[in-house]
Amino acid sequence: MKRVAYAGLALLLLLACIPNCKKGDAAVNPVPPEGDSITVPAGYRLVWHDEFDGPAIDQTMWNFEIDGNGGGNNELEYYTARPQNAYIDSGKLVIQALKEDYAGKSYTSARMNTSGNADWTYGRFEIRAKLPYGQGLWPAIWMLPTDWVYGGWPASGEIDIMEVLGNEPNKLYGTIHYGSSPATHQQSGGTYVLPQDTFAGGYHVFAIEWDTTGFRWSVDGTQYFSTLHGSPFDRRFHMMLNVAVGGNWPGSPDAYTTFPQKMYVDYVRVFAKTQ
């Protein structure tokens, strides 16, 4: 579909932008690149997207977190803003984990977010990606609250669209986290196991639908889990993309883990319900 086919849509999106639209929302980036088409699910409208077709990561849309403190999970990497750890290649975002000595750590990677650039309350979030593999690798596509109005983690919630452990590269996790304090942390989630191949073997579409009643997770169009929930998931959240190395859940890399490891992201798309 050509760019001209989206001109009317862009105007409509600008006029109908949801109340929490931010810099980087439909008003900024509503039109797919020339020759591309976006399938809009029935009952939704496109409000934000990144097709990663530019020469470099758009830093009006994405922030880099620079941190070597373990991400709250005793992770082993140092997150950087260097092009060695995150870059655009042939229309794909690449987040690359490296084994190297850097700032007192033995691994580097990247963690990116849209906080302050694009934040949403409710919608359909769709990401097409190919994942890294190997013991100790932990790719994630997830969301955190922007305003933390209910308190620190997990009181204000966490939405995990996709997590895969590199030692089980065919098993997908989708989860929400909540609770009044870390001591009373609760979670609700489901898993999906690919019948063939792994999530490192090709691209898959990871999606979550979030509305006032709860959440529905799917992969490649197959819903695999749903849950009902209200607060704290009634406030705006932003998107997170990262590849962790090590940590409490996946454990450390072993002698069979190879580097570099890469997560390729073809696109990130956000849709809002039309009514």
Is 209 catalytic? The answer is: no
Catalytic residue among 51, 126, 163, 209: 163
Query: Residue 12 has which token pair?
Result: 């409509």
CA 229 to chain CA mean position, Å? 20
State the Cα–Cα distance between residues 153 and 182, nearest whole angstrom. 7
CA distances from 38 to 23, 27, 183 (A): 21, 17, 43
Residue 237 DSSP symbol: E
> Is the dihedral angle over the CA atoms 231, 237, 239, 244 positive or is it negative?
negative
**Cβ atoms of residues 244 and 77 within 8 Å:** yes
Is 77 catalytic? The answer is: no
* Phi then psi dihedrals of residue 70, to 5 deg: 90, 5
Judge if the upstream peptide bond of residue 250 is cis by omega within 30 degrees of 0.
no
CA 55 to chain CA mean position, Å? 21
CA distances from 97 to 34, 58, 92, 125 (A): 32, 20, 16, 25
Q: Are strands 77-79 and 105-109 parallel, antiparallel or unpaired?
A: parallel
Query: Residue 93 has which token pair?
Result: 């975002």
Catalytic residue among 75, 158, 168, 209: 158
| 246: region left, alpha or beta (phi > 0 left; psi from -120 to 50 alpha) | left
Known catalytic residues are 158, 163
